[in-house]
Amino acid sequence: MNIDFPYFWRLINKQKLSMATTKITVNNNGSLKLEGDFEIVDRNGVPYGLAGREIVSLCRCGNSQNKPFCDGSHKGHFEHDATAFDLPPKKTV
C-alpha cells in the first residue's frame, strides 16, 4: 500500500484546525468564562439558547438569579484566588 504522506499530514492538520475549541478561564472571585465553540446543555441534554454568543460566564458562587449563568451577584460575597495547579495522577482500576 502506497501512502501519500504529505497529503496525510495535511489532512491531519486540517482536522486539527476544524476541531471545536473552547477556552475556560477561572476568574478570581467570580465566574467561569467560556470562550469559543461550545454547547451548554441541561441534565436532560437539552441545549440552552445562547443566541449566537461565543463568550458566556457561568456562576460558581450559587447566588446568581440567572443560573447557570453569572449575573454578577458574587461581587463581595465570593472569594477564590484562581491559581492553576496540577491534579494528582488519574486513578486506574
- Its domain, for residue 61, covers 20-82
Is 90 exceeded by the pLDDT of residue 52?
A: yes
Residue 92 lies in a domain: no
25 domain-assigned: yes
Residue 74 lies in a domain: yes
Question: How many helices and strands in the chain, by DSSP H and E?
Answer: 1, 3
The domain tally of the chain equals 1
Query: Is residue 88 a part of any domain in this protein?
Result: no
In a domain, 14, yes or no: no
- The residue-averaged pLDDT of 57-80 equals 94
Angstrom distance (rounded) from CA 14 to CA 29: 38
Is 26 within the bounds of a domain? yes
User: How many other C-beta atoms are found inside a 10 Å radius of the C-beta of residue 74?
Assistant: 20
Q: Is residue 3 part of a domain?
A: no
Tens digits of per-residue pLDDT, 8-49? 556 565 555 555 589 999 999 999 999 999 999 999 999 999
pLDDT grade for 77, boundaries at 50, 70 and 90: confident
Res 18: pLDDT: 55
